[in-house]
Amino acid sequence: DVKVTQSSRYLVKRTGEKVFLECVQDMDHENMFWYRQDPGLGLRLIYFSYDVKMKEKGDIPEGYSVSREKKERFSLILESASTNQTSMYLCASRLRGLAPSYNEQFFGPGTRLTVL
């Protein structure tokens, strides 16, 4: 079974703090993703990494950065946390797609971040 783990289930931080969210997968997947989930908005892609040290901006990258130094680990960084970054953050991974692969994503348990 694919396992995707996230470092914290719940996190409370103060405005202006630097925040690190860690994600680790154990199935040697090339691709990893960070999403945030907000009520009524579904999941929105923040960043995507298609391989080690490679990254692409998603739909809402502002205020975030990422790091992928090892294949199994993908970190999301909030450089200076703000209250509008209070959200549920979900990490996902998948194999690099080759037809007819269906590129199924496997999600971690999520980190609920509150910024005060």
Partner 1 sequence: ELKVEQNPLFLSMQEGKNYTIYCNYSTTSDRLYWYRQDPGKSLESLFVLLSNGAVKQEGRLMASLDTKARLSTLHITAAVHDLSATYFCAVTSGTYKYIFGTGTRLKVLA
Interacting residue ranges for partner 1, rule: CB under 8 A:
31, 33, 40-45, 48, 50, 56, 58, 90, 92, 97, 100, 102-110, 112
The Cα–Cα gap between 8 and 102 comes to: 29
Q: How far is the CB of 40 from partner 1 (least distance, A)?
A: 6
Q: How far is CA 91 from CA 15, 29, 100, 101, 110, in A?
A: 23, 13, 24, 20, 7
Q: How far is the CB of 46 from partner 1 (least distance, A)?
A: 12
Q: How far is the CB of 97 from partner 1 (least distance, A)?
A: 7
* Phi, psi torsion values for 85, nearest 5 degrees: -100, 5
Q: Closer CB to partner 1, residue 18 or residue 96?
A: 96
Q: Closer CB to partner 1, residue 83 or residue 103?
A: 103
CA 38 to chain CA centroid, Å, is 14
* Phi, psi torsion values for 81, nearest 5 degrees: -60, 140
Q: Closer CB to partner 1, residue 38 or residue 79?
A: 38
